Amino acid sequence: MPQDDRKRRFELLALPHLDAAYNLARWLAGNPADAEDIVQDAYLRAYRYLDSFNGGEFRVWLLSIVRNSFLDWVRENRSARLLFQAEPPAETDETLWGHPPRDPEAMLLDSIDSQTLERLMLRLPLEYREVLLLREVEDLSYKEIAAITATPTGTVMSRLSRARLALRKSWLDTHKMEVPHGL
């Protein structure tokens, strides 16, 4: 295949999934700078091995490469004990569809909840965090997640169940401390 056709095919297949690749890498690595490096490496690998893509769901194939790039990156850049540190999402002043700006108090509470959720997610073991992200954020099926993580579907389902339970318990424990004793 001529180089221009190959490049165009890659762009058509891969670019629509750039956000999903970055989201997965960011949640796995725990920060934007490392996620960018991981995604760059993954996209280079995907381009290099594009001819080995046999059809099917390209997003699953690509996210598998992102995950493997992350695992290689960890072996090269991190000690055996991983420390994750997330950057809170940026707030914007823009409104959608002309709605008036939200109440600052509600925005603060949403921000606190979002930061709490992110902090609690980062405390989850990596294998729980990745299946939770792939299912709840990327909306992938159990079968697709199993393909990405190279684990049986039953393992994906049990990890997802455990991840949800652990996150729920952490959330409740965090919010229990905030409830006044008289209630």
What pLDDT score does 153 carry?
95
Describe the chain by its helix, strand, coil percentages, rounded to 5: 70, 0, 30
Residues of the chain with CATH 1.10.1740.10: 1-78
Residues of the chain with CATH 1.10.10.10: 108-183
Domain 1-78, second-level architecture? Orthogonal Bundle (1.10)
Q: Could you tell me the fold of the domain covering 108-183? A: Arc Repressor Mutant, subunit A (1.10.10)
Rounded Cα–Cα distance for residues 132 and 163 (Å):
7
Q: What is the pLDDT along the chain (183 residues), one digit of tens a residue?
A: 577 888 999 999 999 999 999 999 998 888 899 999 999 999 999 999 998 998 889 999 999 999 999 999 988 886 544 444 334 444 444 444 444 555 555 555 555 666 777 788 888 888 898 998 899 888 899 999 999 999 999 999 999 999 999 988 888 887 675 555 554
What pLDDT score does 31 carry?
85
Rounded Cα–Cα distance for residues 115 and 79 (Å):
26
Which run of H or E residues covers position 97? Answer: none
Strands annotated E in the chain: none
- Residue 171 has φ and ψ, to the nearest 5°, of -60, -45
Task: With beta carbons less than 8 A apart as the criterion, state whether 158 and 146 touch.
Answer: no
Rounded Cα–Cα distance for residues 18 and 37 (Å):
13
What pLDDT score does 148 carry?
93
